[in-house]
Structure 1
Amino acid sequence: MANSNTEHSKKLRAQTAKERNQRLKAEGKLRQISMLINSELADQFDVIAKEQGKSRPEVLKMLIELYQQKKQN
């Protein structure tokens, strides 16, 4: 069954996600990083995400894994 798209339901899901993220941050399971990068680099990053069908955190993980593989060879 799909989620309800009423304003109340959207706000409730957003609040639940916010609380979950805060809890995970407090437990040390999540960290938030912020980077200021030039627009061209950010655009390239977003193109990779779109081409791969991944979120930004997933693309960052993918790039780290590629780096680690290359480093081992």
Structure 2
Amino acid sequence: MANSMTEHSRKLRSKTANEYNKRMLAEGKVKQFSVRMETPVADEFVAILAEIGGKKAEAIKKLCEIYRQHQA
């Protein structure tokens, strides 16, 4: 087994990623929020996410762009 696949290496990568994410939040470079919504609305969002592809943050950015285009 390669060193990168050992339990120790996986835990180390996880720890490093958690520290990075906490630092980005603390420095104000990213924001995190949670959304609670009715199941049909959440299902619709998941369907749109599947169509757009990518991560949730990318889908939210795309939806914001579409909204702004329709406001102009």
| TM-score category, normalised to shorter length | 0.7 to 0.9
Give the TM-score normalised by the residue count of structure 1.
Answer: 0.80
Gapped regions of structure 2 (runs ≥ 5): none
Matching residue of 1:60: 60
Matched with 2:19 is 19
CA drift at 1:42? 1.1
Residue of structure 2 in register with 1:7 after alignment: 7
Amino acid at match of 1:32: Q
* Root mean square deviation, CA, Å: 1.4
Specify which structure has the bigger relative contact order, considering alpha-carbon pairs within 8 angstroms and separated by 6 or more residues.
1
Tell me how far 1:9 sits from its aligned partner.
2.8
2:53–2:59 contact (8 Å) kept in structure 1: no
Max Rg structure? 2
Give the TM-score normalised by structure 2.
Answer: 0.81
In the alignment of these two chains, the number of paired residues is 69
Structure 2 counterpart of 1:37, one-letter code:
M
Provide structure 1 residue ranges, at least 5 long, that are not aligned to the other structure.
Answer: none
Identical-residue share of aligned pairs (%):
45
Partner of 1:28: 28
- 8 Å Cα contact 2:25/2:31 also seen in 1: yes
